Each structure stands twice: as C-alpha cells, then as structure tokens.
Structure 1
Amino acid sequence: MAGPGWGPPRLDGFILTERLGSGTYATVYKAYAKKDTREVVAIKCVAKKSLNKASVENLLTEIEILKGIRHPHIVQLKDFQWDSDNIYLIMEFCAGGDLSRFIHTRRILPEKVARVFMQQLASALQFLHERNISHLDLKPQNILLSSLEKPHLKLADFGFAQHMSPWDEKHVLRGSPLYMAPEMVCQRQYDARVDLWSVGVILYEALFGQPPFASRSFLELEEKIRSNRVIELPLRPPLSRDCRDLLQRLLERDPSRRISFQDFFTHPWVDLEHMPSRESLARAVSRPTGMWRNKGMCGDVLSAPFGGEKTALVVEAVKKDQEGDPAAALSLYCKALDFFVPALHYEVDAQRKEAIKAKVGQYMSRAEELKVVISSSNEALLRQGTSARDLLREMARDKPRLLAALEVASAAMAKEEEASGDQDALDLYQQSLGELLLLLAGEPPGRRRELLHTEVQNLMARAEYLKEQVKMRESRWEAETLDKEGLSESVRSSCTLQ
C-alpha cells in the first residue's frame, strides 16, 4: 500500500483516482469498480494509526447508522472493508460536489431553488427523526449534490450522528462552530433540536450568501454565539413571508421556543406533503383500484394502476364540476395540481411527461374558467351584502376592536381588486378573520351577532378562494419553467450569478 503523500491506497476490486476531500481522520477518493459495470464510487479511507478512541467510536457510529439506511436524500453506504493499514467505507458517489461550493459559486440561491433543496433536506431529516437519529454536524460541506445537471441533495458524514431521543441531553461539544446551536456552545447541554438550528443557518447562508454568525476571528464568533440578540434577517433579497417566518423560527436561540420537528416538516414553506417525488403522481391520482376508464378531463394517460384508499382528486373535481359546485371543483383541481406539477420533476418517460403536461394545462384552463364564474358570483354576493355590511359597521360604533377589524377586511377587499395584490389581500383577510373570530366567540346573541357570523363566513370564503388563486399561480409558474430535465433547468435558469 502507498503511504501518505504517495497517492491513493490500493484496494482489491477498485481503482482509486483523484482525492475528493479530507477530514479530521479520513480522506475520500473517487474510485471505479474493476467489474464490468465500472461503477463510480467514493471511498472514504481511514488510516488506523490516526484513530484514537473518540474517532474509532465516530467511525463505528457512522458504519452502524449508514448500513441500515436507504433514503433518496442520504448518501448510501454500499460496503466497507479493511486491511492492515486502513478501514474503507465504499460510498455512493456524488458528482456535484457539496452544497457549500454550490452556494459560493453562485453567491446566493434564489428562494425557489433553496426551497426545493430544503424540502429534500427536510425529507432526510424526517426519515432520521422517525428513527431517533440526530446528525449533530449539519453544515453545507456535509450536504452533497448528486450532480450539477440534475442536482439532488444527499446528506452525508454521519461521524457525529447519535441515536438520540428527544429528551436526551449530551455534554460533548460536537459539530462546527458556525453551524452549532447556541445551547451546544454555551451550555454544552442539548438535544435533537440542535439540528433544526443548523438547518436555519444553512438556509440563511443559501439565501444571503454567508451564515448569520460569519466572523473574522473565533473570539468574534464566540461573542456572537453567546449574545442574546435576536438574529435579524437582511431586507435584501426580498423573500416570501413564509420563508422569513421559517427562518426566524429555526434561528430561535432558546431551544424551548424553537420550531419543533413536526412543525418544521409541516411548515407551509417546506410542505413535505407536496415535495416533488416519485410518489407525487400516485398521490394525485390515487383511487381504489384499476386504471382510468373515462377519457376527457380524467383521461387514460395516467394508465399505470396506483393503489390507495383515497378517491382521486381529479375524479372528485370533475364530479363537483358536473354537479354545478364551482367552488368545490376549483378547490379540488388546485389540490390535484399540487401533486401533478411536482410529478413532472421525476417523470422520465417522455410520452407520459408530455401527457401529464397536457392534463396540467387542461386542469388549469378549467380552473381559470371556474375562477371567472366564482369571481362573478363573489361580486354579486358582495353587492348583495353591502347593506348588511354597512349595518354591521353602524352597530359596531361602540366596539372599536370590531370596527377596526372590519376596516382591515375592507382593506383586504380593496387590495384584492389590484392586479398583483392577492398575497397582500390574503394577509389582510387572515389578520381580520383572526380578530373577528375572537370577537364572534364573545358576542352575545342578537342581530349584531347574526350579521357578524354572516360576515365572517363571507370573508372566510373569499380568503379560501384567494389562497387557491395564489397556489394555482405558483403551480402554473412551476409547470411552465420545467423542461425535460425537471429541476435541472429551473436550477440552471435561476442560479445565475447574482
């Protein structure tokens, strides 16, 4: 075997070539299997003489954890071997390098690209969390990309990972200071929630180009970590409200106030349920048994049988459409599109992909027609309800809180009339309804309560309708930007140097 500085070691069955990177006790090489397949792998070589007790434990932990894991966003351990000098971990090869390099070559990532990556990381963390495994060293350098042409995140380097129940506390300092949770550094007492802090730092770096505690010296870094100051988010680039909300909840210094794992997985910006995956199409068309029998809006394009107990969203949408219930039909079409559009990321058969695109276009066109119908109906109801609304305002003169909430609702209606005001209008509707529902609960029986109840129902219907419009517009944008290679084109077009 060649020694250090003399090139890669020799390993039966493989040809080791370029060095991909090195860590505290390991060096990683690109390698080719000598078999006919010439499979490309990454081989992590650990020199036995470099191992102390702690690093032996880390290595054994990594092997134990990885050998039992199969997940599309976690690097696969294919095998491990050893000889008199080294221990070898034969890993899945990720040609795209690590996320740190990906971010730094682009300076910052657009929010839409960061969101797709965050969904993939959240998917891996959910898988680990369900098995009580904490990574404890989450950072961009430990997140690899399958390729640059069609990048998928792969969580790697489990040397610090631990089987950790949520109530466990550890006292060993682990990880990298820039990405460590404050409780890890300050108290040396922590639990699984440290991974959520690290996720927040990674997302912050992806969106703003550097981690929140970026410093010129370790002393400056330590001071920032130990500070009690709230982490402020830069105003530029502009981000969606959901994205900012998630960042602030992840970067909560107090772990007891930090977002929980469950709330993270279900947060509207992460929205794992609608994450692009190979199951997206099955979720959209799942039905009791068999294949689509009817043509038209349902079509026979999705001909592979998908199991499941749920009634197909599209079938229900068509049914409600035929029954003359446009609001219910529109809602169901929008829910179906939430699954159909992500399915385009993963469909590889060109004919099926084009057929799915055609169906997406068809459902969107019908949804637009229903939107016109509902909008006209809403306008009619708005006109009909004007007198009742004016009467409610008159009866609210002695109730400043009620009057103020009704004014916010009026501002929402005005904003809804603007061409690009849907999101602002939706925020105002939600703000108004939050207050009105509280007031309704405490309102005594009588005419004012009846009018308030009717107004709340009308506002909720308008807010729900508006929410569907925002989601449908996002689905249309995503469908239009996807090409034959799925995410790769949206990454290439969005990730230009800023």
Structure 2
Amino acid sequence: MASSSSFAPPKLDDFILTERLGSGTYATVYKAYRKGDSREAVAVKVVAKKTLNKASTENLLTEIEILKTVRHPHIVQLKDFVWDSENIYLILEWCSGGDLSRFIRSRRILPEGIARRFLQQIACALQFLHDRNISHLDLKPQNILLCGSVLKLADFGFAQYMSPWDEKSVLRGSPLYMAPEMVCRRQYDSRVDLWSVGVILYEALFGRAPFASRSFSELEEKIRSNQPIDKELVLQAVQKDQDGERSAALSFYCSALEHFVPAIYYETDRQRKDILRQKVRQYASRAEELKALVASDNKLMFEEARTSRDILREMSREQPRLLAALEMASDIIAKEQIGMDENEALDEYQKCLGELLLALAAEPQGRRRELLHVEIKSLMSRAEYLKKNIKMQEAERDVSLDREPLADSVRSSCCVQ
C-alpha cells in the first residue's frame, strides 16, 4: 500500500496532493490540485513500486494501456501517468460525487427510475469496452464513480484484453460480484462482466448484494441453490428471532417483505398470489410484534446509559470540546424523544459520533475513557437503529400491493417507532 505508514501524502512536482480518498492492496488514491492558475482538481492513484510483484506489475501496465486508449463519457479518463524512484502515479479525472456504493448507502435503496438510468450508463460503457475486446473483471459499486448524475467506470486494475471466445481461469475481482464461473474456479470469458452488472443492479434496488457470504464455499452454495433469495431471508429472520436477536430479525423480515410484496403485484396465477398474500400477512404480523419489542429494548438501553452519561459530563468539565459533544448528544436524545425527524436525528448522531471518536482517540486510559467508550457504543447503536428504521420505511414506501389494504399492514410493521 503506497505511503501507508505515513499520514502525509507523497510529493508530486505538478500537483498538490490533499485528502486520501481510499486505498487498496497496491495503491492509495488522493484528491489533488494541479499547481498554477488552473487549480484543476484530479484524483491521483499512487502505486508504491516496492509492493509490485510480476502479476501486479502486468496488471498496472495493462490498466495504463487500456485507459490511455479509451475515451468514453462513462469511463474515467486517465490524464497522464508519471513516476519517481518510489512510486508510479496515475493522474485521473476527478469525480466529485464519490462512488456508487456510498451513493446507495446514503439513500438506502434507489428508486427504479434512477437505477434504470444508471444501468443504461453502465451498459453503454461496457458495450464500448467489449466492442474493443476489453473486459473490466472487477465491476462493483466501489469501482463506479459519480460526476453529478453521470456514472463512470473506474479502477481497471484487473481489466484484460479478451475476445468473446477467449477463456481465462485466473481468479480476479471481488467475491460478492464474481460470476459463478469464477467462484467455482471454472473457465470463464468476457460475459462475467454481465453477472457483475446484475449484482450491482440488485444492490441498487435492495440496498445489499444478493449473495452475502463469509467464504467462497458458502458463496458457491448460495449461487448454486434453487432456493429463492426471499426464502433465505425468511430463514435468516427466523434464526435471528430464535436466537433472541430482535433487531436483526426485524430487519430480515422487512427485507423479505421487500421481495414478497412486489412479487404479489406481478404474480398472475391467482392461487400463487393468495399464497404469497398469506405469507406476507404472517411475516408482517411477526414484524409488528418485533417492532414493539425492539422499541422497548432501545428505550431501556438509553435509560440505562443516562447515569454514565451524566457522570461522564461531570468528568469532562475541563475538556470544552468533549463536553460540547456530550451536550450535543443529550440535546439530540431529548429532541428525538419529542418527535425529531429521524433523518435529521441520524445526521446529528453521526456528527456527534465524529467528535466523540476524535476525543476517544486522544483520551488516555482510565475511567473517563471507559465511560466515553460506553457512550459511543450506545449512540452508535441508536444511529444504527435509526438507519435501519429509515431504510425499512423508504423500502415499503416504494412498493405497492395492487393498492390493497395489505400494503398498509406491511408498511406499518416495518416502521419501528
């Protein structure tokens, strides 16, 4: 990882490198500005020479070759590349909107209209590449950048020249987005990019990848299974419910409902439609029960944390910044109890947690650090609770059920108060 041991970015003659945007096994990406009057913003990918082996060197050279030869509105542009004794620098087009993964997380799920436009842009770039016998081989939301409402494919570190009839067997890319041929270590061709696009579309619509797994073997098993994804979500919900993990169970039940409710709308067979309705009523009923239990658990947790919070405030009288952050936390909690908007509350909690985490990093070992850790954990739990609740509400707001009263039942069950 380039410059991973230092907080200061490397020096580059014509650019001023500023904030670090991200890092991987071989490279670190910085935002930078061109020196001189233009002050053009760019992204600089810094690759430390000492981290490169034969395979990664070949990948880097292929990435540079591909990006130097392609020009497309939905592919990030390589402006230049330079090197010195320690690093190789790729000067790339700056995309101010961050990556698609962050965009999806910030909105929990994307409306179908936005997902459709994004898919069209990805498909347009992919067709352009495949027409030139180029396969990306690492398509995922983190490697797709936003410039306003325009998507651009980025990070061609695993890209290869592949004719449609070429076959490879080398494992490349990120497991969650790999085609079955890769996961099962079989021969594959350029069409593996299409599987990745499908996974990305699913994540855009549902807020998560369809086959989340802890290992390649588990991922392979899920892909091979004929069991519908919604069925698996129900099984996970039941398991979490049995284990007493109420919040997780509620989240899984509502995720399952996200699948079942649209399925009812599109099902044409009357008998299957009735079976789906019955399932939805059953899961919505349990979600309603869990909703009340989770709300009670959260209220109890916040009451238990009040005493330690008061002690921590007293111990922080001589630390103005820490005290201000603790006062902010108390203020958010008080406002939330009288009906503060959940989105606003979540934003406030995240700002507060940012301040408290900075304070924790500077706090020496001792009682105050222990209490500060407890406070942060409590606020993080609340923020996660709100995040899931907002996601559930938005998901149910986007689904319809033939405009029948059952849709209101589902929506109510997934809106935790």
TM-score normalized with structure 2 length: 0.54
Q: Is it true that 1:105 corresponds to 2:127 in the alignment?
A: no
Q: Which residue matches 1:153?
A: 151
1:229 equivalent to 2:221? Answer no
SS at match of 2:33: strand
List aligned pairs for 1:91-490, cutoff 5 A.
91-146=92-147, 150-216=148-214, 219-225=217-223, 227-229=224-226, 232=229, 236=258
Partners of 1:134 and 1:161 within 8 A in 2 = yes
Q: After TM superposition, give the deviation of residue 187 of structure 1 in Å.
A: 3.6
Going from structure 1 to structure 2, the CA distance change for 1:174 and 1:160 (only over 3 Å counts) comes to same
Quick one: distance in 2 between partners of 1:108 and 1:121?
18
CA distance in 2, matches of 1:153, 1:204: 17
CA distance in 2: counterparts of 1:45 and 1:23, whole angstroms: 10
Structure 1 residues without counterparts, runs of 5 or longer: 245-423, 425-498
Classify the secondary structure of the residue corresponding to 1:46: strand
Offset at residue 201 of structure 1 (A): 0.4
State the shift of 1:220 in Å. Answer: 2.9
SS in structure 2 at match of 1:204: helix
1:235-263 Cα distance to aligned partner (Å, 9 max, x none): 6366699x99xxxxxxxxxxxxxxxxxxx
Q: Corresponding residue for 2:50?
A: 49
- Tell me the SS of whatever aligns to 2:258: coil
8 Å Cα contact 1:212-1:231 kept in structure 2: no
Q: Match of 1:295?
A: none
Judge conservation of contact 2:183–2:216 (CA < 8 Å) in 1: no
| SS in structure 1 at match of 2:20 | strand
Between the aligned partners of 1:69 and 1:134, the Cα distance in structure 2 is 13
2:96·2:146 contact (CA, 8 Å) conserved in 1? yes
Shift, 1:222, TM fit = 3.8
Gaps of 5+ in 2: 231-255, 268-401, 403-417
TM-fit CA distance, 1:188: 2.7
- Number of positions where the alignment pairs a residue of Structure 1 with one of Structure 2: 240
CA RMSD in angstroms comes to: 2.5
- Matches of 2:140 and 2:29, distance apart in 1: 18
Question: Partner residue of 1:31?
Answer: 32
Hey, which of these two has a bigger chunk of helix by percent? 2
Distance 2:79 2:65 in 1: 12
CA distance in 1, matches of 2:160, 2:3: 34
The answer as to whether partners of 2:3 and 2:48 remain within 8 angstroms in 1 is no
* Contact kept? 1:111, 1:239, Cα under 8 Å: no
Give SS of 1:81's match: strand
Question: Does structure 2 retain, via aligned residues, the 8 Å contact 1:205–1:212?
Answer: yes
Q: Distance in 1 between matches of 2:24 and 2:3?
A: 19
| CA gap 1:230/1:166 in 2 versus in 1, 3 angstroms | farther
In 1, the alpha carbon distance for the partners of 2:55 and 2:257 equals 43
**Where does residue 70 of structure 2 map in the other structure?**
69
Question: In the TM superposition, what is the alpha-carbon distance from 1:151 to its structure 2 partner?
Answer: 2.1
Distance 2:163 2:63 in 1: 18
SS at match of 2:167: coil
Hey, what does 1:353 align to over in structure 2? none
**Retained in 1: the 8 A contact 2:184–2:220?**
no
The code of the aligned residue for 1:204 comes to Y
In structure 1, the residue corresponding to 2:173 is in which secondary structure? Answer: coil
Q: What is the distance in 2 between the residues matched to 1:240 and 1:56?
A: 48
Matched, 1:19 2:20: yes
Tell me which amino acid in the other structure corresponds to 1:42: A
Structure 2 residue 87 is the aligned partner of structure 1 residue 86: yes
Q: 1:239 to 1:102 in 2, by over 3 A?
A: farther
Q: Do the aligned partners of 2:79 and 2:93 also contact (CA within 8 Å) in 1?
A: yes
SS in 2 for 1:127: helix
Structure 2 residue matching 1:236: 3-state secondary structure:
helix
CA deviation after TM superposition for structure 1 residue 116, in Å:
0.7
Larger radius of gyration: 1
- Aligned partner of 2:165: which letter? W
CA distance in 2, matches of 1:122, 1:240: 26
| Partner SS for 1:80 | strand
Per-residue deviation, 1:95: 1.0
Indicate if the aligned counterparts of 1:73 and 1:124 stay in contact, CA closer than 8 A: yes
Q: Secondary structure at the match of 2:42?
A: strand
The separation in 1 between residues aligned to 2:185 and 2:158, in whole angstroms, is: 18
Q: Quick one: distance in 2 between partners of 1:18 and 1:49?
A: 23
Q: Check 1:177–1:31 CA distance in 2 against 1; reply closer, same or farther (3 A cut).
A: same
Return the offset for 1:31.
Answer: 0.2
- Preserved CA contact (<8 Å) 1:75 1:92: yes
Kept in 2, the 8 Å contact 1:169–1:189? The answer is yes
Post-superposition shift, 1:199? 0.4
* 1:310-363 CA distance string (max 9 Å, x none): xxxxxxxxxxxxxxxxxxxxxxxxxxxxxxxxxxxxxxxxxxxxxxxxxxxxxx
Question: 2:90 corresponds to which letter in structure 1?
Answer: L
Structure 2 Cα separation of the partners of residues 230 and 194 of structure 1? 22
For 1:400, the equivalent position in structure 2 comes to none
**C-alpha contact (below 8 Å) 1:172/1:188 kept by paired residues:** no
User: CA separation in 2, counterparts of 1:20 and 1:5?
Assistant: 15
- 4+ runs of 1 displaced by more than 4 Å? 216-219, 230-235, 237-241
Contact 2:137 2:160 (8 Å CA) reproduced: yes
Distance, in Å, in 2 between the alignment partners of 1:71 and 1:3 is 32
Cα pair 1:2 1:10 within 8 Å, conserved: no
**Cα pair distance change 1:24/1:130, threshold 3 Å:** same
Partner residue, 2:296: none
Write the deviation string for residues 145-179 of structure 1: whole angstroms up to 9, x where unpaired. Answer: 11xxx321110011111111111110101111100
- Please state how far the C-alpha of 1:37 moved relative to its aligned partner: 0.7
- Aligned counterparts of 2:227 and 2:165: Cα–Cα separation in 1: 26
Q: CA deviation at 1:3?
A: 7.8
In the alignment, what sits opposite 1:417?
none
